[in-house]
Structure 1
Amino acid sequence: MIDKLRERPLLVAGVDEVGRGPLAGPVVAAAVILDPNKPIEGLADSKKLTEKRRQALSEEIMEKALAWSICRAEVEEIDKLNILQASLLAMKRSVKSLSHQPELALIDGNHCPQLDCAMEAIIKGDSKEPAISAASILAKVARDNEMVEMDEKYPGYGFAKHKGYPTKQHREAIMALGITEIHRKSYAPVQRQLSL
C-alpha cells in the first residue's frame, strides 16, 4: 500500500521527536510537510548539525515548508504513560496540528503513533528522509530553546548546557539541589533522589 501511495505526488509528513533520554523537561515532536518547489539545502539528522546551523535551518523550514507543527508531551504525561507512549502522543499531536493533513506520515524510529493516514516507521529516518530531518531539526531547536529558558528559572542545574540529559553535572546538581517540577519522577536517577 505504501509503495502504491508513493507512485503519485502526495502530501508526505516527516515526523520525529526529541528528548526521550533527558531526566527533565518535555518530549517534543515535530511534523513537517516539505514543499517540493522550495528545496532546503543541508537537511540532516539534527544531532549531526551545529547549533548555529540547526537554528538557521529551523527558520528556513518554517518559512518554506507547506506545513509544520511542533507539539509536546509534558513531564506529567511522561511519568504517567512512560516515555515511549508519551513520545508517540507528542508525534500524534504534531501531525494532527498540521494545517494540511498528510496522506502518508514517515515516522523516525520503529514505532508509529495512532494516525488517520498511512504510516511508515523508518529506523534512522532522520538521516534518510529530508522531511524527517526537517522535523528533527524543528523539534530539537524548540526543545533546546525551552531548556535554556528553564536554566534561568532553575539556576544551578546547568539546563542550558546539558538540556536535561543525565550528565555528571546534572546528576550532581540533583543530589545537591534536589529535584524540580520539570524533573521526570519515573526516571531512576530522579527516583533515587526522591527516596532519600
Structure 2
Amino acid sequence: MTLFDHAGIDLSAGPDWRAEERLMAELGGPVCGVDEVGRGPLAGPVVAAAVILDPARVPVGLNDSKKLTEKARVRLAAEIREVALAVSIAEASVEEIDTINILEAAMLAMRRAVAGLAVRPLGALVDGNRDPLIGITTETLVQGDARSLSIAAASIVAKVFRDELMKNLAEKHPEYGWDRNAGYGVPVHLEALKLVGVTPFHRKSFAPIRDILHQQNTLTD
C-alpha cells in the first residue's frame, strides 16, 4: 500500500537523497540534516543531532528512527558516526525547557547541534515546519525523517544518544523505568511520581509534574 502525507508525498519508499541533491546543487556545498527527539517526555533533556552524510558512503537502511528496531538504530548510529562527514549532538536542559518552553528548547538544541559540526554546512534540511533560525539556508520538511536520508540519520543519532542518556539516569532513579520508557508519561512512570515524587530531572513546567508540585505546595502551606 502506498502511503502519502498531507502534501501528497509518497512515504512508503522511505527517505531518499533528492532534497540534499537539490539543495547542494543550489548552494554549491555541504548540506546537513537536523532532527530532535524528546519533546514529549516528562523527564530528561531534549536532544538534537545534525549530520552531514558522505554521498558516497550513505549507510543502508536509514529511515525514520521510530520505524526501526532498537538494535537497528544502535547499529546505524554507530555506522553514521563512522562514515558521515560530520556529526554533532546537542541538548537543551530540563532547566532550559522549563524556562523557555519545550518548543523553543528544541529549536535551541538544533542550533547548538548545527553550530557543533566540524564541517560548516551551507544549508540545512530540518524536520518539521519551523525554521530554528540557524543562520544558514534552511529548508523545513514535514515528516522529513521519512523523506530525507540526512534527516533520518540525524533522527537515529539523536534517539540513540537520548535513549542511552535516559538509561544512565535510570541507574540513579530506577523507580521511574526510564531505561524502558525514555521519560515518557507511561503508567509506571506516573505511578512512581505519585509514590516517590519529583526528581531534578523532571520537567516542572509539564502538567503532570506541575500538578504534583502544586499539590505538595498546597499541603505545606
TM-score range, shorter chain: over 0.9
Residue in 1 that maps onto 2:176: 157
Mapped partners of 1:3, 1:65: distance in 2: 16
Report the residue type matching 2:124 in the other structure: A
The reply to whether residue 63 of structure 1 matches residue 82 of structure 2 is yes
The reply to whether residue 176 of structure 1 matches residue 195 of structure 2 is yes
Q: Residue 126 of structure 1: which of 145, 153, 156 is its match?
A: 145
Mapped partners of 1:4, 1:32: distance in 2: 17
Report the residue type matching 2:25 in the other structure: E
SS of residue paired to 1:7: helix
Residue in 2 that maps onto 1:52: 71
Q: Are the structure 2 counterparts of residues 4 and 63 from structure 1 closer, same or farther at C-alpha, using a change threshold of 3 Å?
A: closer
Task: Check whether the contact 2:80–2:153 (CA below 8 A) recurs between aligned residues.
Answer: yes
* Cα drift, residue 195 of structure 1: 1.1
Q: Residue 7 of structure 1: which of 25, 42, 54 is its match?
A: 25
Mapped partners of 2:198, 2:185: distance in 1: 13
Tell which structure's C-alpha radius of gyration is larger: 2
Q: What is the Cα-based RMSD across aligned positions, in Å? A: 1.5
TM-score, normalising length from structure 1?
Answer: 0.96
Give the 5 Å matches for 1:10-89: 10-89=29-108
* Cα drift, residue 155 of structure 1: 1.8
Structure 1 unaligned residues grouped into runs of 5+: none
Query: What is the aligned length?
Result: 195
* Cα drift, residue 6 of structure 1: 4.3
Mapped partners of 1:131, 1:43: distance in 2: 9
Structure 2 unaligned residues grouped into runs of 5+: 1-19, 216-221
Q: Are the structure 2 counterparts of residues 137 and 3 from structure 1 closer, same or farther at C-alpha, using a change threshold of 3 Å?
A: closer
* Cα drift, residue 113 of structure 1: 1.1
* Cα drift, residue 4 of structure 1: 7.6
Larger RCO (CA under 8 A, 6+ residues apart) = 1
Mapped partners of 2:83, 2:22: distance in 1: 27
Report the residue type matching 2:145 in the other structure: D
After the TM superposition, which segments of 4 or more aligned residues of structure 1 sit over 6 Å from their partners?
A: none
* Cα drift, residue 7 of structure 1: 3.1
TM-score, normalising length from structure 2?
Answer: 0.85
Report the residue type matching 1:137 in the other structure: I
* Cα drift, residue 136 of structure 1: 0.2
Mapped partners of 1:62, 1:157: distance in 2: 30
* Cα drift, residue 5 of structure 1: 4.5
